[in-house]
Amino acid sequence: MAGVFWRIVGEALLTLMVGAVTASALVVLQRDFHDLVHRAELILEGTVSRVEEASDAAGIQRTLVTLKDLTIYKGQVTEPNYILDVVGGSKNGFRSQVLDLPSFAPGDRVILFVRGNGEAVFPVVGVHQGYFRVQPRADGRLGVVRCDGLPLVGRYQRTLRFAPRTSRGRERAVSVEEFRTWIHSELQMLDRSEAR
């Protein structure tokens, strides 16, 4: 009986040690709205239609997020759907993932600031900073929230402002129309600066 106890304790400690060695933190530089727009190779709005896992040619697990009903603000997409390629996934009962990466679910309407698709671990500028969801507000209009659900409530110069975590202020979320206007304004400034 004591042998079984110590075996379980030993296995638990080994699991914790292996987990501590393989776990790593994701360090992300703070990006303002100007950075998101300017660094993005592609800015798009779309609906997640499918999330599937597959191995690439090197055997690395990937999660492929298919987006449909696209609106392209910056860059080009030649197909009716766009596939976002994220590192990580499951195979044979084992899960490979980078901690703290945002996730996707079919049916989500998202606005993404994409950079390095197929090359970066998570090909969205600033990771969670360039990933927004479009969700209904209390007044029935569509509002913009960060991927973790925090409502986007405004902008001060280049900095996006979000409702405090303690707030349930989805009704205060900036409308998707206003957010689209912000994107277009930044793109116009980018065009003017490149024309000089």
Q: Across the chain, what does the average pLDDT equal?
A: 83
Mean pLDDT of 145-165: 89
For residue 178, how many C-alpha atoms fall within 13 Å in the half-sphere facing its CB? 14
Please report, rounded to a whole number, the percentage of residues in the chain having pLDDT higher than 70. Answer: 77
User: Looking at the predicted structure, is the pLDDT value of residue 166 above 60?
Assistant: yes
- pLDDT higher for 42 or 159? 42
For the chain, list the strands marked E by DSSP. Answer: 42-55, 61-74, 82-87, 89-91, 94-96, 109-114, 131-136, 142-146, 152-156, 159-162
User: Looking at the predicted structure, is the pLDDT value of residue 20 above 70?
Assistant: no
Mean pLDDT of 15-27: 47
Give the pLDDT band (50/70/90) at residue 171. Answer: low
* pLDDT for the residue 10: 45
3-state secondary structure of 58: coil
pTM beyond cutoff 0.85: no
* pLDDT for the residue 23: 46
Between CA 13 and CA 31 the distance in angstroms is 39
Give tens-digit pLDDT for 44-62.
Answer: 999 999 999 888 788 778 8
Mean pLDDT of 22-50: 84
User: Looking at the predicted structure, is the pLDDT value of residue 168 above 90?
Assistant: no
Mean pLDDT lowest for which of 13-22, 101-110, 171-180? 13-22
For 78-190, list the strands marked E by DSSP. Answer: 82-87, 89-91, 94-96, 109-114, 131-136, 142-146, 152-156, 159-162
Chain center to CA of 174: 19
Q: Is 150 exposed, middle or buried (0-12, 13-18, 19+ CB in 10 A)?
A: middle
Mean pLDDT of 91-102: 71
